[in-house]
């Protein structure tokens, strides 16, 4: 029976002669056994001491673009880590949203259990997190994050003595900029035992690698040139004179482009003091984001500003300029971002080596979720539970401590990181976690299979979605719906062929299993603090609804 962790596939004949209730008794019992086995500690007597734990999270990084996963991005540093460490080829995120995914990573719980379902929700203090467990072992702790949804005020700073989350008005930092703060901290930290979390967000939208040059756009009011700005996805602010309660800005091509026919987007426009931002001649709302003041133009194009206070003489206009890319250009820009962050990772490793951190270190490289890039008619993340958004790289590197050059093809999840790190470092994880210790898999041993659960929730997603993957099959459904999608992940890794009709019994059995899993969880909803207007607009600029 496949639920006992064997290699057999589901089949419509499996369980013939048993009632549904009897089959579920066996399956639930076997699931209880595999959880108790999976969370157990491995023999630690032969493991040398770990003095430094380094967690590198590359936000929004799909596994299938990385070189060592067969991808096209130039990632020599990640590839080297994989060749010298353990590469998990079938790792998945449990939710394609940054804050909740990190919370699952740090608690080893499913999103519906820890309650952080959307960005800005706060984890209840009763849940232990990885940084606190490492801190209790006597390690100092520091985090450097590069995306505003991870700011300390949203709760992921628990257990970190230093938590650097300074973004300015962009709400994101590029990897080279973040590294400067990390390197300065390393010089002060010295060689004492420490846990360092470095979060790079370059592959996240906007796709505009900072080591490239971008066409410039002139912003003109009347006959006065107010600014010449690159269409690089960064947030700009310009001071605009108001006449008779309104103002108009004309956007024109600069001396360095854009090329003829290249569309330019003006995104997230807002006024301070508040007011209306409207498309004028040559500027058009960018459907479906009209509510976010997103516009597109072939240049020239006009934007009309009307502050709510008709008496003001000046307003500040904040906005982002981007090139509107074709699907092919979008993928290429994304790959450039991945290559850029790989280079920054190489510089981080050099700095860690200079600081003496790599001799007895455990380094974990992972992503919180993937990116659509047009697959399944989806460009970004959040909305779906296909593997384009869930399949992520996971590499564990510790020369002399972990095996070298090992590939683990067994399915694993981000919830498995905490118990595995705990096993390597001699830290007893909390007793009620969902994740498994992966050390036996790294050593070529067999451990019981575990069902994989993924979820995504409103309001960030348009619908509450849930999925289960087990024994090579995956079911996806909208919460509360009887309609299912079923995919054979081995034969159809891109999830292009829905088998829910041809393999109806398999789909039904997996859906029943998903029901039982969700029934057994403590369905928790995290606390959502009030969101001020500036935070709401910053979240929307990153593609998150609130």
List pLDDT tens digits, range 98-129: 999 999 999 999 998 988 988 788 888 889 99
Query: What pLDDT score does 149 carry?
Result: 85
| Element (DSSP H or E) covering residue 30 | helix 20-38
Torsion of CA 319, 320, 323, 328, to 10 degrees: -130
**399 within a domain of the structure (yes/no):** yes
**Nearest one of 493, 459, 497, 501 to 120, comparing CA atoms:** 459
Q: 323, 347, 367: which is the final residue of a domain? A: 323
Whether 473 contacts 411, CB under 8 Å? no
- Whether residues 256 and 332 fall in one domain: no
Query: What pLDDT score does 87 carry?
Result: 98
How many angstroms separate the CA atoms of 476 and 458, rounded? 16
Angle CA(386)–CA(57)–CA(132) in degrees, nearest 5? 115
- Whether residues 176 and 126 fall in one domain: yes
* pLDDT tens column, 138-196: 999 999 999 888 888 888 999 999 999 987 666 789 999 999 999 999 999 988 999 99
**189 within a domain of the structure (yes/no):** yes
**Choice between 200 and 536, residue whose per-residue pLDDT is larger:** 200
- Whether residues 190 and 68 fall in one domain: yes
378 pLDDT band, cuts 50/70/90, is confident
Structure tokens at 542: 């990153």
Average pLDDT over residues 455-462: 89
State phi, psi for 49 to the nearest 5 degrees. Answer: -70, 140
How many angstroms separate the CA atoms of 404 and 81, rounded? 9
* pLDDT tens column, 253-281: 988 878 878 899 998 898 999 999 999 99
**383 within a domain of the structure (yes/no):** yes
**40 within a domain of the structure (yes/no):** no
- Whether residues 199 and 229 fall in one domain: no
- Per the structure, the complete domain to which residue 304 belongs is given by 216-323
Structure tokens at 71: 């991808």
What's the number of domains the chain is made of?
A: 2
How many angstroms separate the CA atoms of 132 and 37, rounded? 24
Q: 323, 342, 364: which is the final residue of a domain? A: 323
Peptide bond into 300 cis (omega under 30): yes
How many residues make up the chain in this entry? 546
* pLDDT tens column, 319-333: 999 999 899 999 999
**433 within a domain of the structure (yes/no):** yes
**Choice between 524 and 348, residue whose per-residue pLDDT is larger:** 348
**538 within a domain of the structure (yes/no):** no
Q: 290, 323, 356: which is the final residue of a domain? A: 323
- Whether residues 199 and 61 fall in one domain: yes
- Whether residues 319 and 401 fall in one domain: no
CATH code, domain carrying 178 = 3.40.720.10
Average pLDDT over residues 217-243: 94
Percent of the chain with pLDDT strictly greater than 90 = 66
* pLDDT tens column, 12-28: 333 433 333 333 333 33
**26 within a domain of the structure (yes/no):** no
| Element (DSSP H or E) covering residue 132 | helix 130-136
- Whether residues 289 and 367 fall in one domain: no
Query: What pLDDT score does 38 carry?
Result: 35
Tracing tokens 């002669």 back to the chain, one arrives at: 17
Alpha helices in 61-129 (DSSP H): 76-84, 98-107, 111-114
Structure tokens at 29: 């019992």
- Whether residues 75 and 202 fall in one domain: yes
Output the CA–CA distances (angstroms, integers) from residue 257 to 67, 161, 218, 263, 335, in the order listed.
33, 46, 10, 11, 23
Q: How many CB atoms lie within 10 A of CB 263?
A: 17
**522 within a domain of the structure (yes/no):** no
Whether 144 contacts 166, CB under 8 Å? no
| Range 351-373 burial, b when 16+ CB lie within 10 A, else e | bbeebebbebbbbbbbbbbbbbb
């Amino acid at each position: 029976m496949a639920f006992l962790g064997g290699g057999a596939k589901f089949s419509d004949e499996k369980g013939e002669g048993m009632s549904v209730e009897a089959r579920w008794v066996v399956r639930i019992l076997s699931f209880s056994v595999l959880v108790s086995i999976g969370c157990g500690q491995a023999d630690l007597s032969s493991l040398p001491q770990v003095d430094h734990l380094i967690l590198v999270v590359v936000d929004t990084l799909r596994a299938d673009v990385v070189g060592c996963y067969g991808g096209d991005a130039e990632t020599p540093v990640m590839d080297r880590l994989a060749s010298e460490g353990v590469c998990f080829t079938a790792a998945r995120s449990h939710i394609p949203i940054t804050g909740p995914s990190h919370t699952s990573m740090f608690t080893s719980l499913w999103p519906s259990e820890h309650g952080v379902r959307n960005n800005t929700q706060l984890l209840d203090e009763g849940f232990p997190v990885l940084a606190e467990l490492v801190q209790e072992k006597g390690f100092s702790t520091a985090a450097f994050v590069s995306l505003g949804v991870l700011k300390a005020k949203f709760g992921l700073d628990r257990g970190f003595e230093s938590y650097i989350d300074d973004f300015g008005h962009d709400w994101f930092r590029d990897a080279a900029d973040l590294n400067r703060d990390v390197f300065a901290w390393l010089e002060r930290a010295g060689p004492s035992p420490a846990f360092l979390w470095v979060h790079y967000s370059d592959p996240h939208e906007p796709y505009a690698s900072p080591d490239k040059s971008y066409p410039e756009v002139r912003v003109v009011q009347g006959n006065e040139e107010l600014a010449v700005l690159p269409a690089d996805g960064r947030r700009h602010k310009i001071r605009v004179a108001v006449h008779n309660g309104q103002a108009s800005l004309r956007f024109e091509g600069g001396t360095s482009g854009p090329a003829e026919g290249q569309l330019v987007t003006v995104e997230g426009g807002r006024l301070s003091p508040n007011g209306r931002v409207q498309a004028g001649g040559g500027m058009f709302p960018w459907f479906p984001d009209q509510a976010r003041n997103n516009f597109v133009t072939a240049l020239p194009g006009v934007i009309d500003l009307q502050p709510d206070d008709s008496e003001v003489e000046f307003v500040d206009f904040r906005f982002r300029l981007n090139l509107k890319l074709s699907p092919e250009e979008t993928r290429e820009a994304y790959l450039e971002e991945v290559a850029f962050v790989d280079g920054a990772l190489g510089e981080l490793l050099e700095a860690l080596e200079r600081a003496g951190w790599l001799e007895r270190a455990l380094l974990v490289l992972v992503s919180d979720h993937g990116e659509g890039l047009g697959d399944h008619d989806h460009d970004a993340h959040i909305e779906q539970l296909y593997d384009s958004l869930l399949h992520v790289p996971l590499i564990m590197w510790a020369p002399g401590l972990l095996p070298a050059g090992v590939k683990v093809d067994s399915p694993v999840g981000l919830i498995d990181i905490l118990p595995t790190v705990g096993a390597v470092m001699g830290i007893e994880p909390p007793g009620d976690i969902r994740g498994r210790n992966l050390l036996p898999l790294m050593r070529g041993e067999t451990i019981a299979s575990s069902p994989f659960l993924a979820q995504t929730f409103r309001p960030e997603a348009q619908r509450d979605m849930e999925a289960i993957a087990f024994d090579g099959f995956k079911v996806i459904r909208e919460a509360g719906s009887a309609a299912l999608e079923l995919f054979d992940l081995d034969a159809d890794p891109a999830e292009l062929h829905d088998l829910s009709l041809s393999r109806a019994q398999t789909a039904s059995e997996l859906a029943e299993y998903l029901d039982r899993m969700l029934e057994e969880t403590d369905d928790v909803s995290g606390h959502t603090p009030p969101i001020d207007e500036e935070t709401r607009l910053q979240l929307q600029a990153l593609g998150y609804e609130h």
